[in-house]
A and B are shown apart, each in its own frame.
Chain A
Amino acid sequence: MIYRKRGRSVRWENGTLIRVSENGWAREEGDFFECGPLRDDSVAERGAFAMAEDLPPRAWTFDPEIRVERRIVTHGIAEHEYGEARWTEETHRVHIALTRGALRVLIDREEDVAPIADALARATHDEREPPPRLRLAPNVTAALLPLLFDVAPPNVRLVQSAGAIDAYGNRVGETSVHFYRPSYRVRPVRAPFDLRLECDVTEIERDRPLAVALLGPIRSLVLPVLIRDGARVYPSRVRLHRIDAVSSERIWYPYGAGSFGAELML
């Protein structure tokens, strides 16, 4: 069976506006994967191009020591087709990297920019031991969840959320196995969709210090984070052992095949 995708996107990347229109196909036959551009231009949806005028990101004012290293905003519309299945997807993504000295924070949600930039502006540069009791912000949790898939700690359950449509046009269920196709040029991979973390304890102690942002990639369940502890903000490394509570308020982030971040308590 052949997968077809007809897509339009507008991307604002560090000051350049790029409009991309692209239609592609892909097929798998046993172990063999093949893909290429579709030789038609039948897509009618041009909505993404209409978004171009609104796309340049908000002009935030940051502390003078903060540098904007990367600022990318993308809006796209894609029509997918696999066999009899047809579905349309509209996406909006923001990616911002802010630096101050040797610290870098990565932000993937517009609403997170102001609080994280505020913490970065007040951060000291010396790494400290993490406090024994800590909260993780939803943006930190969301990046962590795809890595917990096979190693979820006790007390919590890692659950796939139902509702999305997978690489082969199947509706995702909570317990079914699905495949993710990040692009028509990539062979679909088995992946959990829209992960969320559940815990019987949902009450979060708001007075605990908060890991507000990741400062780099998570390796071996060690999180390099920026911690806000009252008036103090500092970089630290947190090793994940046990999760005490997970808030039931969730925010979606575009990590892997989707990840719902929620404030959690270690």
Chain B
Amino acid sequence: MTHYAVATLEELWSNDRLMERRLSHGQATQNDAEILATDVRDDALVEACERAMSEARVQCVAPHRRIVVEATRESVATIVVLRDADCSLVTDPAHFARDSALLQSIAAIPVEASRVDEALPLVWRNGSAAVLLHEAIGHPLEHAHAAIAWPSWLDVDVPLAMRRASFRDVPMQRMERLVASQRGASLEVPRQRIDVLLVDGGAYEPLTETVTLHIAAADLVDGANAQRLPPFTLAKTRGEIARALAGAEGEPIRYPGVICSREGQELYVPSFAPLMLTVFA
């Protein structure tokens, strides 16, 4: 028999005004293939949420933000979803200042280029390759798909664990984190390329093994000139992605955040990847 207790507090702020506030709490007891879930309150968990929310409200100030605090008997976690113009990212109080500045710098540049040439090499900056690998390696692992060949220099640490979004949900095998690193790879950044800066979301279709990524911000680069591209969608099979990985450089970079949705259950997955290059031509 397993027991799970959780409290969640969520606030949505828009133009510095509190627009929505949601408290949720409950407990679930699982016995083999049966779960009894009730909204029983654990006062200590609710108080932990209130404390963390008070701190986050002060520490993570932005005009448009969604703050979500989740307290279980094991941990208290706070995430903050920031929005600026049409861009958004997920962060936490420890990385708020850096990620907020990153979002502002990305959102400040208007779209100039009109056409995305998918044949151009893609350089995945800000750890954004972690989202590509989350879809192309993490989800196939969750679906127990057969392994495929990846470059020998690529190492991906992606442990799975039974996780659930709320006390009402059935736990599933989900990613706990994804840390991609490189050993002995090289990277020559092409003069003409697309620099991927921010990814808005992605999906893995298990029937066709197709990864779809919505690129929220990217630059079309030619030497020293860069033009902001309109948002675009990249759809490739995981095999095509594995073959397209052409190099990497440096240590894993923390991507601001990945909220992973599967079977309607949204979970935060910390994600890291070095600067990487893909060539799909």
**A residues within 8 Å of B by Cβ?**
13-24, 31-37, 39, 70, 99, 101-104, 185, 187
Smallest beta-carbon distance B70→chain A, Å: 15
A21 adjacent to B39 (CB under 8 Å)? yes
B35 adjacent to A17 (CB under 8 Å)? yes
Q: Name which of B22, B26, B41, B263 has the most chain A CB atoms within 10 A of its CB.
A: B22
Interface membership of chain B positions 258-278, coded 1 if the CB is closer than 8 angstroms to chain A and 0 otherwise: 000001000000000000000
CA of A17 to CA of B18 in the docked complex: distance in angstroms?
38
B39 adjacent to A187 (CB under 8 Å)? no
B34 adjacent to A16 (CB under 8 Å)? yes
Give 9 nearest A-B pairs by CB, closest first.
A36-B23, A18-B35, A37-B39, A22-B39, A20-B37, A34-B21, A33-B20, A102-B207, A16-B170
B170 adjacent to A14 (CB under 8 Å)? yes
* Residue of A whose beta carbon sits closest to that of B17: A31
CB<8 Å pairs between A and B, sample of 24: A17-B33, A19-B36, A20-B37, A20-B168, A21-B37, A22-B168, A31-B17, A32-B18, A32-B20, A33-B20, A33-B21, A34-B20, A36-B23, A36-B24, A37-B23, A37-B24, A37-B39, A70-B263, A101-B207, A102-B208, A103-B207, A104-B207, A185-B22, A187-B20
A33 adjacent to B39 (CB under 8 Å)? no
Contact of A36 among B17, B22, B33, B263 (CB under 8 A): B22
> Any chain A CB within 8 A of the CB of B38?
yes
> Any chain A CB within 8 A of the CB of B19?
yes
* Residue of B whose beta carbon sits closest to that of A34: B21
A22 adjacent to B170 (CB under 8 Å)? no
Smallest beta-carbon distance B212→chain A, Å: 12
CA of A14 to CA of B262 in the docked complex: distance in angstroms?
14
CA of A20 to CA of B19 in the docked complex: distance in angstroms?
28
A24 adjacent to B34 (CB under 8 Å)? no
Which B residues between 147 and 196 are near A, CB-CB below 8 angstroms? 168, 170
CA of A39 to CA of B17 in the docked complex: distance in angstroms?
27
Which B residues between 16 and 51 are near A, CB-CB below 8 angstroms? 17-26, 33-39, 41
| Contact A37:B207 (CB < 8 A) given known A14-B170, A24-B39 | no
Chain A contacts for B24, CB-based, 8 A: 36-37, 185
Chain A contacts for B38, CB-based, 8 A: 20-22
Q: Is the interface of A mostly helix, strand, loop or mixed?
A: strand
**B residues within 8 Å of A by Cβ?**
17-26, 33-39, 41, 168, 170, 207-208, 263
Chain B contacts for A185, CB-based, 8 A: 22, 24
Chain B contacts for A70, CB-based, 8 A: 263
Smallest beta-carbon distance A226→chain B, Å: 14
* Residue of A whose beta carbon sits closest to that of B207: A102
Contact of B170 among A18, A34, A35, A39 (CB under 8 A): A18
Smallest beta-carbon distance B185→chain A, Å: 33
* Residue of A whose beta carbon sits closest to that of B14: A31
Chain B contacts for A22, CB-based, 8 A: 26, 37-39, 168
CA of A17 to CA of B21 in the docked complex: distance in angstroms?
31
| Contact A23:B39 (CB < 8 A) given known A18-B170, A31-B19, A32-B19 | yes
Chain A contacts for B37, CB-based, 8 A: 18-22
CA of A184 to CA of B38 in the docked complex: distance in angstroms?
15
CA of A129 to CA of B10 in the docked complex: distance in angstroms?
48
| Contact A37:B34 (CB < 8 A) given known A14-B170, A18-B170 | no
Chain B contacts for A35, CB-based, 8 A: 21-23
Q: Name which of A14, A37, A104 has the most chain B CB atoms within 10 A of its CB.
A: A37
Smallest beta-carbon distance B162→chain A, Å: 12
Chain B contacts for A31, CB-based, 8 A: 17, 19
Smallest beta-carbon distance B159→chain A, Å: 23
CA of A31 to CA of B36 in the docked complex: distance in angstroms?
35
Chain B contacts for A103, CB-based, 8 A: 207
Chain A contacts for B41, CB-based, 8 A: 37, 39
CA of A103 to CA of B205 in the docked complex: distance in angstroms?
11
* Residue of A whose beta carbon sits closest to that of B23: A36
* Residue of A whose beta carbon sits closest to that of B171: A16
CA of A20 to CA of B38 in the docked complex: distance in angstroms?
6
Smallest beta-carbon distance B37→chain A, Å: 5
Smallest beta-carbon distance B280→chain A, Å: 21
CA of A19 to CA of B37 in the docked complex: distance in angstroms?
6
CA of A103 to CA of B41 in the docked complex: distance in angstroms?
44
CA of A251 to CA of B17 in the docked complex: distance in angstroms?
44
Contact of A18 among B17, B19, B20, B168 (CB under 8 A): B168
